[in-house]
């Protein structure tokens, strides 16, 4: 199997490709290795470029809601093909000037485009990553994956809701979450007879 074919096969239920890369966090460079987060959930989101238009709205939205992820034992990692120096400059530029300011999570540099290739989100013609988002569980398994085209951003609340649903069914293996499930809502038992209790109650 070629490297390209391996990337094409990446899907939920598989181990998340590990990576080690330079990141910017708290105005400093540090090394980030995905496998070091085992035991935590990880939200990885790819974005096209620093100093663009939709990207800062997403990046600051994830930062502003970081505490909600932290409570759920979850780390957030933003990744683009920019250098760590570009990331640093962007975090040193305030929001009113088109920057992102200080962030509550690391921005990872994928300058060699190896991570975005491994996660099958690289747009080879443009040379940048599409807006891929992956939720990885405590065992390093991909539980959720979405990819938006370049022109429209993602919803942090929906990412949190999906994360909560994943954590609920992993903690309660006899239950499944129906569409739009929120914490506190009824769940279903994935059984033809037992599921009737759910349908009779809604």
Full 3-state SS string of the chain:
CCHHHHHHCCCCCCECCCCEEEEEECCEEEEEEHHHHCCCEEEEEECCCCCCCHHHHHHHHHHHCHHHHHHCCEEEEEEECCCHHHHHHHHCCCHHHCCCCCCCCCEEECCCCHHHHHCCCEECCCCEECEEEEEECCCCEEEEEEEECCCCCCCHHHHHHHHHHHHHHHHCCCCECCCCCCCCCCCECCCCCCHHHHHHHC
Q: In the annotation, is 9 catalytic?
A: no
> How far is the C-alpha of 154 from the C-alpha of 145, rounded, in Å?
12
Of 42, 43, 55, 136, the active-site residue reads: 55
Q: Using alpha carbons, select from 110, 88, 108 the residue that is nearest to residue 99.
A: 88
Active-site residues: which are they? 55
């Amino acid at each position: 199997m070629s490297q390209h074919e391996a990337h094409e096969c990446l899907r939920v239920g598989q181990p998340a490709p590990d990576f080690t890369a330079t990141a910017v966090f708290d105005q400093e460079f540090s090394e980030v290795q995905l496998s070091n987060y085992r035991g935590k959930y990880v939200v990885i989101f790819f974005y096209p470029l620093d100093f663009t238009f939709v990207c800062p709205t997403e990046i600051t939205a994830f930062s502003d809601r970081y505490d909600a992820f932290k409570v759920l034992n979850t780390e957030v990692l933003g990744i683009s093909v920019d250098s760590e120096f570009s990331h640093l400059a962007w975090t040193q530029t305030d929001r009113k000037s088109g920057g992102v300011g200080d962030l509550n999570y690391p921005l990872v540099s994928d300058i060699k485009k190896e991570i975005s290739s491994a996660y099958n989100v690289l747009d080879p013609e443009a040379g940048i990553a599409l807006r891929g988002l992956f939720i990885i569980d405590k065992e390093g398994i991909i539980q959720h994956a979405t990819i938006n085209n370049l022109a429209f951003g993602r919803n942090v609340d929906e990412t949190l809701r999906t994360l909560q649903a994943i954590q609920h069914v992993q903690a309660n293996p006899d239950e499944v979450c129906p569409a739009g499930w929120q914490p506190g809502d009824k769940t279903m038992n994935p059984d033809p007879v037992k599921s009737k209790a759910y349908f009779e109650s809604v």
